[in-house]
Structure 1
């Protein structure tokens, strides 16, 4: 028994699970056990909504009438800060998980993803109206900042006990009679909306009294510019070579041209950034986070210069390699909300080995840079539709009634013929079934 434990410890846990996409969901789950990503006791829960029922749903949102599911998949090949990771993604669109896995493998050739995260600061806003002198009011608030921050801490003793708390007071002048006070709070592993909303409401009358103003709105901002993530990666030119594109330098330069297009044109930049959010959102949905807040903050951040720009930057490194960086606000949570109530979210966080909110932000950011790279690579080579339609063919095959190995057989024929009509899929399926039966109907 001791020898078996030693042998198990010697098995290297890897995110490179060769041929994973070709296997059945059942076999994929078995491989996760073999690779020690999950235990045999845990794997069965991945097969469905185990533990998530109408009672659980009814406690989460209002007017519940049933449950609605999304596919939960795993992006592979991720090496983040030197650690092999599996990345859970909940998404309905074909090709996103495959794209993330492919790009992660390319980035792994250059050492993987390197991530730097800001402290988990969430910001409360208090609007002050009818201010008699914005200059005097601002000076008063800034002079009393230490006192006011101590009052904020008194409102959130539980957050203080977890190591969080008030960090800074900022005052911004909006017009001749309007100020907004930002109360920056470290919310640890929480996204912090409820915490800072309570802070805003609890401090509003105090701030209004000190400035002789009238308190207006009291709520957090989802432009989490104190809570950004920077993800960088390097892809050697040799890794960009494909069967149909043997010149890695040409592929690299095509990606750089696509990047430049996004820098010049907001219409292209929006689609460029959608490619980033394909990865980020899928991770956040799988892990029960507020992807809508992150989306809003990301697009505001992209337009902070006054012109909407790409969230990523790709360039040539000193040795000719392709180098990229994603920089964006990314407020995440592993405490409270769905992480506390939704068993599927809990399983996704555990499978991804997420250690806390900043680690989740790092993983989501890496996924975002990966899906962006994959999209730019496809656009600058064979076009975006080739890979997308190959995966779409599998869905058409399944809709036509194919199952098991027949899905791949029918999908391959559809892709080869470049015909994706359901009626054609049914014809191919009928022919394959007849052949398996020895020509008998």
Structure 2
């Protein structure tokens, strides 16, 4: 839904935000009830999801509004404990929307499984024997999980690579709307007896790979440099610095690590909100960032001086799911999918990549202009205010007093809070 008035949303109370979401008609009635009643993951459900459960851990569930992706406006749910993440995403989304928003390309949507063979007496003969039976092996894997074939998915390709003492058999699988870990693992294990017979070797393991190079998505955007500064010369200078910061992440792995962490501030928040496995997404993306032997930044920014725009691009693996796993078990996860309009896996992958690129733009802009520490100090002051016991209306004034101090700590925060209360 477009043209919604989000102005002042950050200054409203949680209840006022829920009321506004209801007014906007962004959620189904059952999702509104979940938010209204603050329903959490039931303990009995949590107890079935993990071992030795004693409670649940809650994290803030926020909204970054007005992301324009492929011509459609989305309001992205974000689960994160860091307030600057949501604020930065929202800020970047506004700037990028004014220049046309994000465009994305989903290059493929397949997962990869592997069977690692060892003690293969003749690798060349084993390779030839396995490839000769390729159609049979793909069919055999499909028989291990016939339901995915009925839904239009299933195996798509098989190939082999010898690596040191191993002959590794790879199989790509269209998992449809599921991430497909259990599905692919079942398929790979079904191939083991035949592969051992054909290769005359032994299987070390049969398992899905999280390095999802057959499930890549790209996000692109541009920002008019007038958004960086009203002064043309300064805007030009800031655009050059932002592009240099992007290049730094390509040549220095120390910077690349922090560069990519900033991207995942956004990606993880949406992946978690939608009930997906953020560890798998991160593992695959970090491997992709190292694909040429050096760890590099995942995003690239360039400056088109003639058009007076900076352009951002990012490609990474995004094997995201909208079905399966724990997605249907957590009530708040259901709200997140409802808020997004219940997208399919490809659409959700596009939104996640766009959010990551937005988060990256906001970070680079801050680093190359005002610096990152000013915002972080405000967040530190707010955390100290809350730890000192400040109530909702006391937080703002206490933060202002803390920022005037040469050294901020909890003792100072408590003293200042006591002083404010005495004055009032």
> Structure 2-normalised TM-score?
0.94
Query: Which segment drifts farther, 206-215 or 417-426?
Result: 417-426
1:290 aligns with 2:295: no
Say whether residues 1:179 and 2:148 are aligned partners. no
Q: Report if aligned partners of 2:2, 2:66 keep a CA contact under 8 Å in 1.
A: no
**Using the alignment, how far apart are the partners of 2:176 and 2:378 within structure 1?**
42
* Maintained 8 Å contact 1:125/1:200: yes
Using a 3 Å threshold, how does the CA distance of structure 1 residues 47 and 401 change in structure 2: closer, same or farther? farther
Q: 2:374 aligns with which of 381, 386, 405?
A: 386
1:197-248: CA deviations, max 9, x gaps? 00110111111111222112110111001001101110011111279x9822
Match of 1:396 in 2: 384
Structure 1 equivalent of residue 254 of structure 2: 267
- Secondary structure of the equivalent of 2:120? coil
SS of equivalent residue, structure 1 residue 168:
strand
- Whether 2:32 is the aligned partner of 1:43: answer yes
Question: Quick one: structure 1 residues 42 and 110, their matched pair in 2 at CA, closer, same or farther if it must change by over 3 Å?
Answer: same
Counterpart contact for 2:31–2:338, Cα < 8 Å: no
| Cα distance in structure 1, aligned partners of 2:117 and 2:4 | 51
Whole-angstrom CA distance in 2 between matches of 1:48 and 1:312: 40
TM-score normalised over the length of structure 1: 0.90
User: Does residue 121 of the first structure (1) align with residue 83 of the second (2)?
Assistant: no
Which is further off, 122-131 or 400-409? Answer: 400-409
Q: Secondary structure at the match of 2:327?
A: helix
Mapped partners of 1:263, 1:20: distance in 2: 37
2-structure distance, mates of 1:190, 1:411: 45
Checking the alignment, whether the CA contact within 8 Å between 2:263 and 2:356 is kept in structure 1 is yes
Say whether residues 1:149 and 2:149 are aligned partners: no
Unaligned runs of 5+ in 2: none
What do the CA deviations read for 1:77-100 (whole angstroms, capped 9, x no partner)?
311111111111111223111111
1:346-385 CA distance string (max 9 Å, x none): 1111112231222221111111111111111111011111
Alpha-carbon deviation of 1:39?
4.8
What is the alpha-carbon distance in structure 2 between the residues aligned to residue 52 and residue 39 of structure 1? 19
Query: How many angstroms apart in 2 are the aligned matches of 1:435 and 1:261?
Result: 50
Q: Which residue of 1 aligns with 2:94?
A: 105
User: Residue 248 of structure 1 corresponds to which residue in structure 2?
Assistant: 235
1:360 to 343, 348, 351: 348
Q: CA deviation at 1:254?
A: 1.4
SS at match of 1:95: helix
C-alpha separation in 2, matches of 1:246 and 1:413: 36
Name the structure 2 match of 1:77. Answer: 66
- Residues 1:385 and 1:350: Cα distance change in structure 2 (over 3 Å): same
Alignment of 1:281 onto 2:268? yes
Task: Give the length in aligned residue pairs.
Answer: 423
Q: Distance in 1 between matches of 2:32 and 2:361?
A: 32
Hey, what does 1:23 align to over in structure 2?
A: 12
User: How many Å separate the matches in 2 of 1:218 and 1:334?
Assistant: 25
Q: 1:167 to 1:40 in 2, by over 3 A?
A: closer
Distance 1:188 1:242 in 2: 47
TM-aligned CA deviation for residue 49 of structure 1:
5.1
Does the 8 A contact of 1:94 with 1:388 survive in 2? no
Distance 1:89 1:249 in 2: 33
The match for 1:232 is 220
SS at match of 1:344: helix
Alignment-derived partner of residue 4 in structure 1: none
Q: CA deviation at 1:16?
A: 5.9
Q: 1:238 to 1:66 in 2, by over 3 A?
A: same
SS at match of 2:328: helix
Answering whether residue 301 of structure 2 is matched by residue 314 of structure 1, we say: yes
Any idea what the Cα deviations from partners look like across 1:140-183, whole Å, max 9, x if unmatched? 222322222122222211111111111111111113x5211111
For the residue of structure 2 that corresponds to 1:338, the secondary structure is coil
Cα shift at 1:14 = 4.4
**How big is the shift at 1:65?**
0.7
Distance 1:216 1:49 in 2: 47
Q: Per the alignment, in what secondary structure is the counterpart of residue 216 of structure 1?
A: strand
Instruction: Compute the displacement of 1:128 (Å).
Output: 1.2
Is there any run of 5+ residues in structure 1 with no aligned partner, and where? 1-11, 437-441
